[in-house]
Amino acid sequence: MEEDKAKIQEKYITLQNLDKQIKQLQAQFQNLENQAVEFHVVKNSLDILSNTKLNNELLVPVCNGIFMKTILRENTEVVINVGANIAVKKTIIQAKDLMDVQMAEVKKIQKNVLTDMQQLSEQALSLEKEINEYVAAFARKE
């Protein structure tokens, strides 16, 4: 009888761990979705900038909710931070292509995360069924 309780408790703990992993994957998926949206916004912003006439006044975000007036002097190139405090000049087309590559990578990772979530969900359902069967069998013994 104690062995049955221990087995049920062990499976329940495993089920809780699976649930925790699924929630972590859901959070990771949401973060990836946010990145994909951000890449899309950047791509649209690049389109807008490339179609904006030179010497137009713009509001440029300094940080969240703070903007600065500036004059557009260049609309064919951007400077991209590539890491380690290194920045390189790229054309608008190259920058948009980079966004496309990054969006494709995010979608690929999202697909893998979804596959992992599905596998864990299937394991959790199977384990939940086992727990219910153990509990029912245990209740019959009492």
Which CATH class, in words, describes the domain spanning 2-141?
A: mainly alpha
DSSP string, 61-121: EEETTEEEEEE---SSEEEEEEETTEEEEEEHHHHHHHHHHHHHHHHHHHHHHHHHHHHHH
Per-residue model confidence (pLDDT) at position 133: 86
Q: pLDDT for 28-87, tens place per residue? A: 999 999 999 999 999 999 999 999 999 999 998 899 899 999 999 999 999 999 889 999
Q: pLDDT for 9-33, tens place per residue? A: 898 899 999 999 999 999 999 999 9
Q: Give the start-to-end residue ranges of the domains of the chain.
A: 2-141
